[in-house]
Amino acid sequence: MIRVLICDDHMIVRQGIRQSLAESADIEVVAEAADGPAALQRLRQGDIDVLLLDIALPGRDGLDVLRQARVEHPRLPVLMLSTYPDRQYAVRSLKLGASGYLNKSADSGEITAAVRRVAGGRRFITAPVAELLASALGQGGGDAEAPLHELLSHRELQVYERLAQGRSVGEIAKDLSLSSNTVSTYRARILEKTGVRNDVELALYAVRRRQPAD
């Protein structure tokens, strides 16, 4: 029996995944978590074979939780879940040690196949993600050659995309349910990490990198 922990902040998503996996006699969802700290706490209790982890979590985002899970449970297969385009997070997730990356739009058969595959010690990589990974390796694959925006955390990337769209700090704060001071802090970190001086240069940087925000 493959024992699964689902971590997603939306109950309806957790219920949908649970229902999809319930059709398989060899898979059992034994626990759910609505945020990263709760997932990590449950992992420490043991008896989990696969972690299904959402990237967009409140507070501590999924990539941070992935890093911590890899430290505490280096042999645990982690299957990342996301609604974002593969090119934004797939390669980053795999580089951080995820066993696979799956879009939430996947059908129940693909979710089940992914869980079985990573539980068996293999990686689950879709054809589009494989192309992205091959492209990243072809460019050197090293952090030194990676685009600067790939150094951003998930939350910083969210702010970055909105700044590149010309959104104000106040608008971003409202959109992400953050304080304006917090968004300003993220903005300062983004400017430092990308090596630009202001929002105009950041927008130009985004256009050159052909991010979803351009």
Rounded to two decimals, the pTM is 0.69
- Give the domain extent around 13: 2-138
Tell me the C-alpha distance between 114 and 99, whole Å: 9
pLDDT per residue, tens digit, the chain (214 aa), is 999 999 999 999 999 999 999 989 999 999 999 999 999 999 999 999 999 999 888 877 888 899 999 999 999 999 999 887 666 678 788 888 999 998 888 889 999 999 999 999 998 987 777 777 666 655 554 444 455 566 677 788 888 888 888 888 999 998 888 899 999 999 998 888 888 888 888 888 777 765 444 3
What is the predicted pLDDT for the residue at 209? 66
Same domain, 107 and 174: no
Same domain, 166 and 134: no
Question: What CATH number is attached to the domain comprising 122?
Answer: 3.40.50.2300
Same domain, 133 and 168: no
Tokens of 144: 């030194």
Mark which of 86, 105, 138 sits at the end of a domain. Answer: 138
Residue position matching structure tokens 């630009």? 196
Same domain, 97 and 20: yes
| pLDDT tens figures, 170-191 | 999 988 888 999 999 999 988 8
Question: What CATH number is attached to the domain comprising 183?
Answer: 1.10.10.10
Residue 19 lies in a domain: yes
Mark which of 112, 138, 164 sits at the end of a domain. Answer: 138
**Helix axis angle, 199-209 to 154-164, nearest 10°:** 100
Q: Are 163 and 202 in contact (CB under 8 A)?
A: yes
Tell me the C-alpha distance between 86 and 103, whole Å: 8
What is the predicted pLDDT for the residue at 74? 93
Same domain, 155 and 126: no
Same domain, 119 and 177: no
Four-CA torsion 185, 189, 195, 196, nearest 10 degrees: -20
Residue 96 lies in a domain: yes
Tell me the C-alpha distance between 68 and 179, whole Å: 26
Same domain, 119 and 157: no
